[in-house]
Amino acid sequence: MKILVAVKRVIDYSIKVHVKSDGSGIDFSGVKMSINPFDEIAIEEAVRLKEKGIASEIVAVSIGEKTCQESLRTALALGADRAIHVETSFETQPLCVAKALKALVERENPRLVILGKQAIDDDCNQTGQMLAALLSWPQGTFVSRLNVKEDEIEVVREIDGGLETLKMSLPAVVTTDLRLNEPRYATLPNIMKAKQKPFEILGEDVLGIDLKPHLKTLCVAEPPKRQAGIKVTTVDELIDKLQNEAKVI
């Protein structure tokens, strides 16, 4: 079984982001970048399926500027067999990414597509669902446990009320949650081996898709700084502040 894993390059989760002075977006200059943490979990799950003999090939895919190739090299070092980079200078948005992934799925014919439930930069949580809709495939989102049995999979997904177990036929789309697994580290020998693995670079014209964004960011602003708390002396004073200042009751 071939597995396609989508990878996005984002600002490292440990870095505090800063907004540009003109409010046009996030300042990326001199900032450490890494694979989206949820996508690392997706890679790890695909590698574990291959180690169990369930998967035969893992294809890592990323869509974006040339710098995305660094993240794909890391994915190869973590266990992916080959990588495909769809190069574009446009800002990547969920629907455009889903269309690109659909074109790659039709080209590669995987039985399972795994990607993170969301990216930590835009927090959209849309790409997996859009891809499943475009492909008319069953989907398992927010998955914390995944079992593959011949031509079907069983997923345990996290919902507001607890856990939900679903069975679905393959091919399917799965998006990963934090508790699915703990990703491994890329070892130096595997990093060296990754340089010899197949790496394909495609333009959007090859796939016959348009990655031009349809949404425009008007302004980006940092959240207001949290104000210091205050102490109240009576219940009446507390109720007054909740009604007139906080306006929550």
Per residue in 234-247, pLDDT (tens digit) is: 999 999 989 988 88
State pTM to two decimals: 0.85
71 pLDDT more than 90: yes
Across the range 106-131, mean pLDDT stands at: 93
Across the range 74-88, mean pLDDT stands at: 94
Q: How far apart are the first and last CA of the chain?
A: 56
Tell me which amino acid residue 103 is: A
Across the range 54-63, mean pLDDT stands at: 94
CB neighbours (10 Å) of residue 30?
A: 5
- Can you give the residue ranges of every domain in the chain? 2-244
Alpha carbons 45 and 147: distance in angstroms, whole number = 10
pLDDT value, residue 140: 93
The residue with greater pLDDT, 41 or 232, is: 41
Q: Do residues 27 and 52 touch, judged by C-beta distance below 8 A?
A: no
99 pLDDT more than 90: yes
CATH architecture of the domain formed by 2-244: 3-Layer(aba) Sandwich (3.40)
pLDDT value, residue 82: 94
pLDDT value, residue 107: 93
Across the range 217-237, mean pLDDT stands at: 86
Per residue in 37-52, pLDDT (tens digit) is: 999 999 999 999 999 9
The residue with greater pLDDT, 29 or 36, is: 36
pLDDT value, residue 229: 83
Across the range 145-161, mean pLDDT stands at: 90
Tell me which amino acid residue 1 is: M
Alpha carbons 72 and 78: distance in angstroms, whole number = 10
